[in-house]
Structure formats: structure tokens, C-alpha cells
Structure 1
């Protein structure tokens, strides 16, 4: 009974020797999928009692700080559709980071999660880097459930992505990710969700998301600009609260909003 086992082991060894790059890529992909299945999730905004205080950008938008969200949040009522378009960045390890550590960040649009903490309808793209390996995942989520990956929509650095969420009710809606560059688009429909939306927050966010119950190591994402930012078909982010990420007393992002554009840069 040992012969099949030995033969199988030799076959696997030969495959690795014949194509080490392919085997390594497959293993990295398998590890990444396994890690996400442990519970990759977004979270509601986790505000920081910053000693920096509340300042002002662009003369109108207040700046607040959180450990996980950066971007712009509108607070109001009746938010049913939120959309935005961004160019996929090339993430890298932050200054002083390790090539053996995995770093990630995410760009998404959503409804709720700030003043309303019962649910978030959201969709976006994760960026992950370890050493010279960079990967991207498009996903959808109805928080507090964890995120699920879309399939059938390859994403590369430099692609233009449009993300849209639509709440048809407080317990149903859709999440759409469109790769404008390739023409590919994917949609997920939610219905009968037990955790109800309030439809009082609309947001365009760069996030340090969670995996396995704790924040992942935050990647240097360069810069992300949401253009065409709109709510319920109207343009503009007037009155939005600007959020920057602060961790361990250090501000890691620099975000602003003007008209229908929300911009965030890594500053850590």
C-alpha cells in the first residue's frame, strides 16, 4: 500500500521541480483564499480619540480619525445608491516593512456603517502585496456577514473600476463591480437580510480591513481617487465628513473631497 503513496509524492515533487513558479503561485493563491475564508471582513468605522483634534480641509469638510477607515462619509437619510470609479493602484510594503509580511488595503463604496452600525451594504477591491507578489480581489459584503469574492472578473494594476451598491429596501440590494478597462462586470443580489440598513450613511472608503478578527498589516496603496462619486444619481460630496486613518498615534492617510471626487493618499 506504500507504492501509490510514494509514487504520488514523487509525481508532486517532479511537478514542483518542473514548474516551481507555477507551484508557488498556486500555493500563494491557495493560502490567500484560505486566509480570506477565516473571515476577511470590513467593519463599522472605529473612531480614534485623536490628540490631533478635528481640523478642516477644503474650508468645509471636517477631518476625523479612525483606525480602519479613510475617505469621505455623507450623513443624511434615504441613501439608496452609491457609486464611484477609481484606478487600481500597485500596493507596496510601507517604509521599513518586511518582504515576508503580507500587506493589504481595500477601496470600496457603501451604505451605512458610520452613525448606523447595524449593517453595511458594500463592494470593492482588495489590494495585497507580499514581497514582489501583488494580487487583487473583487468582493461584496452585507456586514456583519463577512466578505465574499466575486469570480470572473480579473483585475490588474491600472484598470479602471466602477463600484456601485444599490439598496432596494433595508434588507435587500445589489453590489456591482465593473472593470471598465476590460468590459467585464459582476453583480451580486442580496435579499431577506436579517441585519437591516438605516440608509443614513453613504461612503467612499479606503480601508484597513480585518482578517481572523484583527486588522491586517496596512499596505502603502500610493493614491486612490474616487471620481464620479454620486448618491442616488446625483453628483457631489458636499458636506461629507473626511476620515483619515490613525494607528498608534500616527496618521497613515491624507484624504480630501471636492465636488464629485474623493482622494486619498498613503502618508504613513
Structure 2
């Protein structure tokens, strides 16, 4: 869950982050205020046409395995898309934030489109802290990124990103911001998110399709894939904006 101060005018202006390969002169806000938001149900309780397990959310699209276990590690690999239009979205993996909404250990990549230009940010976050960008980790459209988050305890963990296309790896140790943010391990997720800046969701970019491969969520004694998970679709203002499908350890999230 990330939150950046993402100020949006009628012209949609975005700020620049150090890790971005593209410099957007129009971006004026600082990324220190960007943050994810826990799973937020939409006005519709359940989605139709996608899966008997599908649910609607205003901000999350992807898969969350059923709770009832204690997840400690989540991993997935995806190809960075080229967003279009004016807006942004984020692909990430994480622990908690669905039924356990006081905390999320997560990491992933933002993709932003503004005025025909695109930019990317790799980040880590322990909600309710804001997201922090990885430095010296350039990303381009078409790069293959593997993201892994691992909790070493309820209040400590790591986030690791591997750019399989460049061979670059970054790892960050994280600590819960306070005792209320201790992980429950109830949820694991592979998500494309309409994230938050300045207490409101950013305009949701058309990202085409993000496909997570090698998706796996582990407990202390076993691991499982997304097949048994709950499918989440984004619905805003009565319009369904995503479509999700799963096959084995693969999850495809498409902008509709």
C-alpha cells in the first residue's frame, strides 16, 4: 500500500522520483507522501463474469489466498508494462492488508503515464508508513521483475526486487512502524493497485495486462499458489476496470 503525494490537476501533473529513468518536468509532488491503501470494498459486494470467487474493490485487482494460515513469504514475477493515457498504477506483492488491515509488508513497481511520457518507480513499504523508493535501481518497460517480501517476525521483514533483465538486485530490511502495525500473516497478495496520493486515489492508468508468474505464498511449513485464492477486481463509479484470471502459478490482471 503506497502513498505518494500525487497532486492531480486537470492536466494531470506528476512528480519525478530519483529512480525514474524518465524525467517528467510536470511532476511537482514529492514521493514521500505516496502510500498504498488497504483493500477497500466497492459498493458492489461481489463481481460477476470473472470467477465465482471474485470480489469488487475500489483500489485492488489481483488475487489473495484465503485466510486461515500464517503467511511469511510471498513472491511473484511480472513484466513491467507500458501505461497509456494519463494516470498511474502499481504492481506489487504483499502480506496482510485484506482482512488484516492495520499493516501491510509490500514491495513493487509504480508505472505512470503523463502527456505521452512514461516513468517507473521501485518501492518498499510497511503500511501505515509511506512508500520509499529504492535508489539506483533503474526500471524500463519490458523489464522482468521478481518481487519477494518475507517476514522474519511480526515486526521485521525484508523486501527484495530482482531485475531479471539487467541482473540488478536490491534488498531492504524493514521494521513495523509501531506495535499496531505488527503483521498477522493472515493475507498474501499479488496486486495491481490504484494507489493513493494526498488522501485520494490517483487516476487509474491503462496498463494493458500485468501477468504474475511463479506466484507463491509460503507459511512456515508449506506453500500454495493463487488457484484457491479470491479474485479481486477494481470497480469505480459503477464501472469494472479490471479482469483477472489464474492458471497454476500464473495470475493475469488486465485493464478493461
Classify the TM-score, shorter chain. 0.7 to 0.9
State the number of aligned residues: 229
Q: 1:141 aligns to what? A: 125
* CA drift at 1:35: 3.3
The separation in 1 between residues aligned to 2:210 and 2:47, in whole angstroms, is 23
Higher percent of residues as helix? 1
| Preserved contact between residue 35 and residue 211 of structure 1 (Cα < 8 Å) | no
Relative distance call for 1:26 and 1:57 in structure 2 (3 A) is closer
Q: 2:188 aligns to what? A: 202
The separation in 1 between residues aligned to 2:98 and 2:156, in whole angstroms, is 19
- Which residues in structure 2 correspond to 1:172-187 (within 5 Å)? 172-187=156-171
Relative distance call for 1:192 and 1:211 in structure 2 (3 A) is closer
Relative distance call for 1:223 and 1:119 in structure 2 (3 A) is same
TM-score by length of 2: 0.85
Flag structure 1 segments of 5+ consecutive residues without an equivalent. Answer: 1-24, 94-101
Q: 1:157 aligns to what? A: 141
1:257 to 241, 246, 254: 246
The separation in 1 between residues aligned to 2:176 and 2:57, in whole angstroms, is 31
| Preserved contact between residue 153 and residue 184 of structure 1 (Cα < 8 Å) | yes
After superposition, the C-alpha distances for 1:184-214 in whole angstroms (9 at most, x for unaligned) are: 0111101354111110100000000001110
Over 6 Å off, 4+ runs: none
Flag structure 2 segments of 5+ consecutive residues without an equivalent. Answer: 1-21
Q: 1:221 aligns to what? A: 207
Q: 1:87 aligns to what? A: 79
Q: What SS does structure 2 have at the residue aligned with 1:238? A: helix
1:36 aligns with 2:22: no
After superposition, the C-alpha distances for 1:137-156 in whole angstroms (9 at most, x for unaligned) are: 00000001110000111100
Relative distance call for 1:251 and 1:172 in structure 2 (3 A) is same
